Amino acid sequence: MYAASVEPGRVTLVLSINEVRLLNNALNEVLNGNAIPTDSFGTRLGGTRDEVDSLLMAVHAVLDSAEVVQPKGL
């Protein structure tokens, strides 16, 4: 991973497909695992469950698109 550009309020990252898969899995665990209690979710992550869910959906869509181009395991 590296930062392709950094601007006020926005960072563009370049990630390998494996890094996107790792991010997808980590976000899924954060949302669906039992590690972070609901009452401290926002404080510990800096965002709401809805914000993290939206990020997960966006990352998942990118992962799905990438795996069409480069199937899993290749």
9 lies in some domain: no
For 32-52, the pLDDT digits (tens) are: 988 888 889 999 999 999 999
pLDDT digits (tens, 9 = 90+) for 2-42: 999 999 999 999 999 999 999 999 999 999 988 888 889 99
Has residue 71 got a pLDDT over 70? no
Q: For the purposes of burial, counting CB atoms within 10 Å of the CB of 37, is it exposed (0-12), middle (13-18) or buried (19 or more)?
A: exposed
The answer to whether 63 and 21 are in contact (CB under 8 A) is yes
- pTM attached to this predicted model: 0.83
Residues 6+ apart with CB under 8 A from 16: 1
* Domain range enclosing 40: 16-69
74, part of any domain: no
Residue 30 domain flag: yes
Within a domain: residue 6? no
Number of domains the chain contains:
1
Whether 1 is covered by a domain: the verdict is no
